[in-house]
Each structure stands twice: as C-alpha cells, then as structure tokens.
Amino acid sequence: MLQVIQDKVIMMKEKRTHRSKGQSRVLAILGSLVGPSAAVLLETGHIDIFAEQYLLNLWVVVALAIGGASLGIYAIVRGALVLGITNLVLNTSVVALYGFLAAFFGLGGSR
C-alpha cells in the first residue's frame, strides 16, 4: 500500500515538473522580447509615457528589461536553461546600456 502511494506521488511530481517547464519556456520567450522591444520603441519615439521627459522614459525601459530578465531567471530555475540564458543575455544588455544612460544623465551628466 505504501509503495502505491509513493508511486503516485512520484508520478504527480513528474507531471507537475513537465507542465512547469512548458510554462517557463513560454514565459522565457515572452520575457526575451520585453527589454529589446522596449528599447526599440523608445528609440523610434513610440514610448512616450512621460511627455517630454526622456530620462523617466529611460527608467521605464530599464524597469521593463529588469522584469524580462527576472522571467529568464525563473525559466532557468524551472529547467528551461537555454531559453533562460538567452533571455538574460538579451535583457541584461538593455539594462546595462539604458541603465548607464539613465544613471549618467540622472546624476547631472551632459553630452
């Protein structure tokens, strides 16, 4: 009787792991598009959340890229290693570039 219960628990864990890996793949794919697409929209002038305040729009892009990178970390933890690493590479480059620009100009730097 105990062996039957243990087998059912193992089967349930395997089923849950398979389902969560699929969900993490979808999240990793969507998350890998967040940072780069926000950067492209900012550069083309389509992100204008704060009118005439470019610095605040830079911080929005940085926050979106950090959110996308966190989805990559979630995917790595859940087992989608390649998609998670790809997600991190794409989003951390956006965070590095636009984070530097936002911090530089936020602290009073000029061209």
Question: Which alpha helices (DSSP H) does 79-106 contain, by range?
Answer: 81-106
Instruction: Note the pLDDT tens digit of each residue in 91-110.
Output: 999 999 999 999 998 898 87
Q: How many residues does the chain have?
A: 111
75 Cα distance to chain centroid = 9
Which pLDDT score is estimated for 87?
92
* All structural domains of the chain with their residue ranges: 2-106
All residue ranges of the chain with pLDDT < 70 are 1-2, 12-21
Tell me the whole-structure pTM to 2 decimals. Answer: 0.76
Residue 19, classed as helix, strand or coil, is helix
